[in-house]
Amino acid sequence: MIRLLMILGTILVLGAGAGYVLTRPRPLPPPAVEGLVGDAAAGERIFWAGGCASCHAAPKAEGDARLVLSGGQRLVSPFGTFVVPNISPDALDGIGGWSLLDFATALKRGVAPSGENLYPAFPYTTYTRMEMQDIADLKAFMDTLPPSGRVDEPHDLPFPFNLRVALGPWKALNLDPDWVIANPPSEAATKGRYLVEALGHCAECHTPRNAIGGLDLGRWMGGAPNPAGKGRIPNITPAALDWSEEDIAYYLKTGFKPDFDSAGGEMADVVANMAHLSDDDLAAIAAYVKALPPVANGGS
């Protein structure tokens, strides 16, 4: 009996060790950023398309204050409340001390410079599809923004979600750099796919999640419960959204719907970002949305 228990114990230890090796944090290798030089002017477009200010500006910030990425917003979820960090170029309290490799590793791998896995409240499951040059350009632009000395607060997460050890297996199941829509029907929709699937992280709100918080790719953009618990994020596939491409692009630029109602809540903040993009970019996003496979309303 003792021998059997020793064998079982050894198997458990080896299994746990193998699981850790397979799911441990994996920073990008240094050659991934070799030779890259960021262009701050190009990075501004990536900044607005990526929605950085929506989460990382201070709560209720408007105008130029949205460029101060001091963090502090509280993101309520079924797993607890995440407090958005300071990602301003402050060297002490922000990310001013991060290298380009550190920055790219956070975006594409969800790993902090400390080597810890980051919580997916930071949408690296979207950013993992970003092109490396765009990451370099984005960092170059963010390095020009005002620093903030706001000190980060800890997340308010209950057990076991406060244990980062589970993030490795979660990422193994949910961090996928492949495109969700494999073959967009046009050049415009292909450009829109990059803006949506690699930068805009629209799916983080508009797609329902599975039991462990990963996106349900089979119901891509099919609408989802509001993680804050109030109302529902709408289905934006052609099964539910009958707007034309022109309607969608105009809405993203101005916030006005075809029925003359206007964007509210968090979507108003998204429009504030999208309004900085070119008409061609907005038309590409609209083409992508119209090309989405229809998803029936309903479900969790």
The DSSP 8-state label assigned to residue 174 in this structure reads H
Average pLDDT over residues 91-106: 97
The confidence score (pLDDT) of residue 228 equals 67
142 domain residue, yes or no: yes
Q: How confident is the model at residue 24 (pLDDT cuts 50, 70, 90)?
A: confident
Number of domains in the chain: 2
Residues 44, 166 within the same domain: yes
266 domain residue, yes or no: yes
Residues 70, 198 within the same domain: no
Residues 233, 113 within the same domain: no
3 domain residue, yes or no: no
User: Mean pLDDT over all residues of the chain?
Assistant: 90
Residues 41, 165 within the same domain: yes
d(Cα 156, Cα 137) in Å, to the nearest integer?
33
Residues 48, 167 within the same domain: yes
For the whole model, what pTM was predicted?
0.89
Contacts of 216 (CB under 8 A, 6+ apart): 207, 208, 209, 210
300 domain residue, yes or no: no
Using the 3D structure, point to which of 174, 209, 224 is the last residue of a domain: 174
12 domain residue, yes or no: no
Residues 217, 119 within the same domain: no
53 domain residue, yes or no: yes
- The range of the structural domain enclosing residue 62 comes to 29-149+157-174
194 domain residue, yes or no: yes
Nearest one of 140, 143, 299 to 216, comparing CA atoms: 299
- The predicted-structure confidence for 122-141, as pLDDT tens digits, reads as follows 999 999 999 999 999 999 99
- The predicted-structure confidence for 48-88, as pLDDT tens digits, reads as follows 999 999 999 999 888 899 999 999 999 998 889 999 999 99
Residues 87, 192 within the same domain: no
C-alpha 201 chain-centroid distance: 5
Residue 8 has pLDDT above 80, yes or no: no
